[in-house]
Chain A
Amino acid sequence: MRIGTAKENYTADEALFDTNIQRGWMIALMIALFALPFMTGQYAIYLVCLVMINIVSTTGLNILTGFTGLVSLGQAAFMGVGAYTVAIMEINLGTPFLLNLLIAGSGAALVGIVVGLPSLRVKGLYLAIATIAASVILHFIFANWTSMTGGVSGLSMPPASLFGLELVQPDQVYWIIMPITVLMLFGAANLFRTRIGRAFIAIRDRDISAEVLGIRLLRFKLLSFAISSFYAGVAGGLWAYFFRVITPESFPLLMSIFFLAAIIVGGMGSILGGILGATFMTMVPEILKMMVGVLSPIWPDAVAVMSPVRVVVFGALIIFFLIFEPDGLAEIWRNIRRFFHLWPFKT
């Protein structure tokens, strides 16, 4: 807590941002987000869009795993549900993209509820394995329901259009992805100021105690699954508008592990953690690519080694953070902030 910001009532204590300085930073960030496409090139915007899609999905998983304590390895499959819904609606009906995204989210949420049904009887690792089963089954449906999903070759879809303008390039799709990401993040942050969000946290901390306190476990666990898969579905829809080609292999189990890794690296049970984790994990391959670019004149094999090194770094990051910084990047960030807030006093 910052020195000199004593909180005098509950409203102040529950506020999303404590101080005017924080609000100022937030406004500056918003302006930066709006100015970004005019200041950087296509590739940078491409990366920003990718990061944002991952942030939406990671935040969804964080609601489920970080805040409710239910481990899921099905996030990528739920994204797939969203992506296929958007593609099928865009190809066959041509409905506006906002409606498509909404239906994609709702569809994924429904699937999430079905997958979450075992969560009352089994939990922890058994649940994680049940979600693996769900993602294997969903993958099978994507690959074999040829009349709807186009089978193994997948679907390619027309771009989204806004006021008659087709959004093809990353800096155009950005105008869909950015506002929705911001909206979803505010939604998630606000969720934990409500009764529902508090109930999730109570379930995470000790589900039997939560039940004793009068929280209906089945209802809230399923609600958590639904919200989390809604986020995944919307992220999948954005993914579909961004890449416009969807195959069953677009959403492998490895991608679910990626999201789980992102919340571990970022910090479980923290919205900021989801943002930092998704950004970090998306950027690591890019940083490696840059290093390869630097190294390749000296060491010609660098390009060939790149992809396995990425896999090793991915795993090593998970292990490293779990052993040395279980609260993730968010905790590191908080420590840095605390240092400056309390300066010149010792932390």
Chain B
Amino acid sequence: MDWLFFSEIGLAGIGTGGLYAVSGLAFVLIYKATRVVNMAIGEMMMMGAYIFIGFSVGLALPVWASIPLAVIVSGIMGGVIERAIIRPMLGENAISVFMVTIGLGSVLVGLVEIIWGADPRRLIEFVPSDPIFIGEAYLSPKVGYSFAVAAVIVGLFLVIFRTWRGGVALRATAGDQAAAYSMGINVPKVFSLVWIIAAMIAAVAGILVGSIGGVSPNMGVYGLSVLVVVIIGGLDSLLGALIAGIFVGLIETYAGAFLGGEYKMLATFSLLVFVLIVRPYGLFGTHEIERL
């Protein structure tokens, strides 16, 4: 066993895991506040990355302007999505809402293919390309910087949740909707806010993932891995998403390196099945008690 090789793969795994953690954050945020399982998370990331392409290539804007613009436009889209198709489903059973997000994913994929075509694309290079060494281990700069950005975003959110008024309103809504309502919190507004924020996070995650591996309309498959992450972490736990993200990233990368690329999905989904059987509500999720 070559320890250097082993630790290099481990670093790459943690890097990938960081991206999973951010995408998982976007997912958990929506689930926590609105109880919607958003199957379109991969597609929302893809949309963000393609909007970035639209600004940086289509309109030839510089990268420092394109990224914020793409994030803002994605946020607006998130708000529109919530208002147009999620709000009417309020109070419907969870499965219907789940299916609506599957439909949404399909619509987003189709729109991207109509506007930008079905071929895979590469994003403009904007990450510095000088290699990073941690000790002796080499880390691909894209993965390294992406991880750094991911860590900053996650940290920022943890702080915002504790301090900002909106963040507190969000936590209150997640805790108990009826109580939050009666304390004067505008719950529908919180729902909109959550979708906007989640769409923005998804856009950042999409741009980061796209900068590493390119983008294509099939990026929705990435959403499946995010689903594994949030299930393992527990659907309503932010901390769970972070830990499970890094864990799944590591497992996936090791499986890919030692068994072969086709084993990546197999490894993560086998892990998912195992967790579902042993601990159905994830590592940190709340176990819901059913009453008649």
Interface residues, chain A, with chain B CB atoms under 8 Å away: 71, 117-118, 121-122, 124-126, 128-130, 132-134, 136-137, 140, 143-144, 206, 208-209, 212, 253, 257, 260-261, 264, 305, 307-319, 322-323, 326
Contact = CB atoms under 8 A, between A and B. Distances in A.
Contacts, number: 128
Given A71-B98, A311-B110, A318 B103 contact: yes
28 contacts: A117-B277, A122-B276, A122-B280, A124-B94, A126-B231, A128-B95, A130-B272, A130-B273, A132-B224, A133-B228, A133-B269, A133-B272, A133-B273, A212-B292, A257-B106, A307-B113, A308-B114, A311-B110, A314-B110, A315-B104, A315-B108, A318-B100, A319-B100, A319-B103, A322-B92, A322-B103, A323-B85, A323-B88
Nearest to A319: B103
B71 to A, nearest CB: 24
Contacts of B94: 124-125
A264 B108 CA distance: 20
Contacts of B107: 311-312, 315-316, 319
B105 interface: yes
The 9 closest A-B pairs by CB, nearest first: A315-B106, A318-B103, A312-B110, A308-B113, A311-B110, A315-B107, A319-B103, A315-B103, A133-B269
B110 A323 contact: no
Given A315-B102, A315-B103, A318-B100, 17 more contacts: A118-B273, A121-B277, A124-B95, A125-B98, A133-B272, A140-B262, A143-B262, A260-B102, A308-B118, A310-B110, A311-B107, A312-B111, A315-B107, A315-B109, A319-B103, A319-B104, A322-B99
Nearest to B87: A323
A318 B99 contact: yes
Contacts of A124: 94-95
A323 B102 CA distance: 14
A39 B154 CA distance: 65
Contacts of B292: 206, 208-209, 212
B186 interface: no
B176 interface: no
Contacts of A128: 95, 98
Interface in B46-87: 85
B274 to A, nearest CB: 10
B288 to A, nearest CB: 10
Chain A interface helix/strand/loop/mixed:
helix
Contacts of A264: 99
Contacts of A143: 262
> Could you say which of A133, A208, A323 has the most chain B C-beta atoms within 10 Å of its C-beta?
A133
Contacts of A130: 272-273, 276
B227 interface: yes
Contacts of B277: 117-118, 121
Given A118-B277, A308-B113, A318 B106 contact: yes
B96 interface: yes
Contacts of B111: 308, 312
Contact of A323 (B100, B108, B227): B100
A204 B113 CA distance: 38
Contact of A137 (B227, B266, B280): B266
A323 B103 CA distance: 11
Nearest to A127: B276
A195 B60 CA distance: 66
Contacts of B227: 129, 132
Contact of A322 (B96, B110, B113, B273): B96
Interface in B265-292: 265-266, 269-270, 272-273, 276-277, 280, 290, 292
Given A140-B265, A311-B110, A312-B111, A129 B103 contact: no
A129 B227 CA distance: 8
Chain B interface helix/strand/loop/mixed:
helix
B159 interface: no
A137 B276 CA distance: 15
A319 B227 CA distance: 21
Nearest to A144: B262
A264 B273 CA distance: 27
Contacts of B205: none
Contacts of A318: 99-100, 102-103, 106
B89 interface: yes
A50 to B, nearest CB: 20
Nearest to A323: B88
A311 B290 contact: no
Contacts of B265: 136, 140
A137 B108 CA distance: 27
B37 interface: yes
A126 B280 contact: yes
B99 A309 contact: no
A308 B99 CA distance: 20
A214 to B, nearest CB: 15
A118 B262 contact: no
A143 B260 CA distance: 14
Contacts of A316: 103, 107
A71 B97 CA distance: 12
Contacts of B110: 308-315
A118 B273 CA distance: 9
Contacts of A261: 99, 102-103
A322 B89 contact: yes
Given A122-B280, A136-B269, A208 B290 contact: yes
B120 to A, nearest CB: 15
A304 to B, nearest CB: 9
A307 B103 contact: no
Contacts of B280: 118, 121-122, 126
